Chains A and B, each alone.
Chain A
Amino acid sequence: QVQLQEAGPGLVKPSGTLSLTCAVSSDSFSSINWWSWVRQPPGKGLEWLGQIYYTGSAHYNPSLKTRVTISLDKSKNQLSLRVNSVTAADTAMYYCARHLSYSFGFWGQGALVTVSS
């Protein structure tokens, strides 16, 4: 069973950088997979942030491309997300997910990040 667990600061100051990690069960991380980050602002719908392949190749949501970076650390079985220059609009529940074909087949429980001074 694939297991993913997000972690990171729950509070980030405006104009700062949001950083989250996603711990992945080791057997899953060693196989060929795509991984994504998805977020949901309070009271709003789901938004795809970007994806990364096990080789490190990444694609990003065009609306966030200049502010988002997704990376892999295979030695730590870990997926990371960075969002720069955050505002209150970046307040959301953030999820990491492993793909199943062209879908998000396995999800973490999510990490709530609030942007506030």
Chain B
Amino acid sequence: QSALTQPASVSGSPGQSITISCTGTSSDFGPCNCVSWYQHHPGEAPKLMIYDVSDRPSGISNRFSGSKSGNTASLTISGLQAEDEADYYCTSYTSSDTYVFGTGTKVTVL
């Protein structure tokens, strides 16, 4: 299975909003709304930010939101802050009972 496609990098100024896309095939996104997003700071464990396309785990800021249309999922970070600078990965549960990660996006806060 091939990785989901994400832009290599996205940048924005503090306070701005940015959106990261995650594109795959209909098989990649399977029969359910099973897309999740992870924030990964170097040297730390990845952190779940969004699950089931648009749900936030307890403790995650509402500045993070997710959506999906067709074969593209998106993560939006609003009110960008310096601490948001990290790598972000999407993942999806596929129609083959497997998971596939995205290629990863480096977010830079200017």
| B is bound to A | yes
In the complex, whether B82 has a CB less than 8 A from a CB of chain A is no
In the complex, whether A10 has a CB less than 8 A from a CB of chain B is no
Q: Find A102's partner among B36, B38, B40, B102 (CB 8 Å cutoff).
A: B36
| Chain B interface size range | 20 to 34
> Nearest-CB distance from A105 to chain B (Å)?
5
In the complex, whether B34 has a CB less than 8 A from a CB of chain A is yes
Cβ-defined contact, A107 with B45, below 8 A: yes
Cβ-defined contact, B1 with A62, below 8 A: yes
Q: A102-B34, A102-B36 are in contact. Are A48 and B101 (CB under 8 A)?
A: yes
Cβ-defined contact, A110 with B3, below 8 A: no
Q: A46-B40, A105-B51 are in contact. Are A36 and B1 (CB under 8 A)?
A: no
Cβ-defined contact, B51 with A102, below 8 A: yes
Q: Please encode chain B, from 93 to 110, with 1 for each CB lying within 8 Å of some chain A CB and 0 for all others.
A: 100111111111000000
Q: A45-B103, A48-B101, A62-B96 are in contact. Are A100 and B38 (CB under 8 A)?
A: no
A-B interface pairs (CB < 8 A), number: 69
Cβ-defined contact, A104 with B1, below 8 A: no
Cβ-defined contact, A45 with B3, below 8 A: yes
Which chain B residues border A51 with CB–CB below 8 Å? Answer: 99
Which positions 24-76 of chain A face chain B at CB distance < 8 Å?
36, 38, 45-48, 51, 59-63
**What are 28 A-to-B residue pairs whose CB atoms are below 8 Å?**
A36-B99, A38-B101, A45-B101, A45-B104, A46-B46, A46-B89, A46-B101, A48-B100, A48-B101, A60-B98, A95-B45, A95-B46, A100-B51, A101-B51, A101-B52, A101-B55, A102-B34, A102-B36, A102-B51, A102-B52, A102-B93, A103-B34, A104-B46, A104-B91, A105-B51, A107-B45, A109-B45, A110-B45
Chain B residues in the interface with A (C-beta under 8 A): 1, 3, 32, 34, 36, 38, 40, 44-48, 51-52, 55, 57, 89, 91, 93, 96-104
